[in-house]
C-alpha cells in the first residue's frame, strides 16, 4: 500500500500548480537545453549535454514524486480537530522552559515541514510530543543536546 500524504488544502493547490509548471514550462525548457547542447556536436565530451540530461533526470524525478503525492493524499480538515488539543494543522505557541522564550510552530504533514519557518512535521520528535496535548501541558523532546522542555501556551486552528 502506498504511503498516505497529509496535506493542507493550501499545500495541495501548491503541488497541483507545481506539477502543471513542471510539465508545461519546465519540461519544454529542459528539452530546449538538450536540443541546444546536441547542436554543439560530439556528445561524448559535451558537458552542456551531460548537464542538460542530468537536469532532465531531476525534473522527471520531481514530476514522479509530485504525482505520487497527488495520487495518495488526504486533505487535513480543520473541523475534524479537537479545538482544545494540538492536532495536525494546529498553530501552537510554546514556552521554552530552559530559556524562557516563546516560540510559535505549526504542526504539519511531512511534505509541508519547514522547521526554519516554524512548520514542524507531525512525524518529528517535537511534533509527536505536541500532538494531542492541551494548553498548559508540558512536553519533553529528546534532542542530541539533551532533553528540551516546553509548556503549551496557546493553540490555534
pTM over cut 0.85: no
Q: Is residue 91 over pLDDT 80?
A: yes
Q: What percent of the chain has pLDDT over 70?
A: 95
Whole-Å CA distances, 96 to 90, 149, 150, 151: 18, 6, 5, 7
105-140 tens-digit pLDDT: 999 988 889 999 999 999 999 999 999 999 999 999
pLDDT, the chain, mean: 90
Mean pLDDT calculated for residue range 89-104: 94
6-34 tens-digit pLDDT: 888 888 999 999 999 999 999 999 999 99
C-alpha to C-alpha distance for 89 and 157, rounded to whole angstroms: 7
* Domains along the chain with CATH numbers: 5-75 (1.10.287.180), 80-156 (3.10.50.30)
pLDDT of res. 148: 94
Q: Is residue 80 over pLDDT 70?
A: no
Amino acid at each position: 500500500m502506498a504511503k498516505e500524504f497529509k496535506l493542507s488544502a493550501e499545500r495541495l493547490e501548491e503541488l497541483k500548480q507545481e506539477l502543471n509548471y513542471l510539465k508545461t514550462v519546465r519540461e519544454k525548457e529542459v528539452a530546449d537545453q538538450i536540443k541546444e547542447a546536441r547542436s554543439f556536436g560530439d556528445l561524448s565530451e559535451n558537458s552542456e549535454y551531460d548537464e542538460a540530461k542530468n537536469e532532465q533526470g531531476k525534473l522527471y524525478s520531481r514530476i514522479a514524486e509530485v504525482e505520487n503525492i497527488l495520487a495518495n493524499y488526504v486533505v487535513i480538515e480543520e473541523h475534524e480537530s479537537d479545538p482544545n488539543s494540538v492536532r495536525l494543522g494546529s498553530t501552537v505557541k510554546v514556552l521554552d522552559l530552559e530559556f524562557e522564550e516563546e516560540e510559535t510552530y505549526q504542526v504539519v504533514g511531512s511534505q509541508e515541514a519547514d522547521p526554519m519557518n516554524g512548520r514542524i512535521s507531525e512525524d518529528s520528535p517535537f511534533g509527536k510530543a505536541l500532538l494531542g496535548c492541551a494548553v498548559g501541558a508540558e512536553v519533553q523532546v529528546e534532542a542530541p543536546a539533551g532533553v528540551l522542555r516546553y509548556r503549551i501556551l496557546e493553540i490555534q486552528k
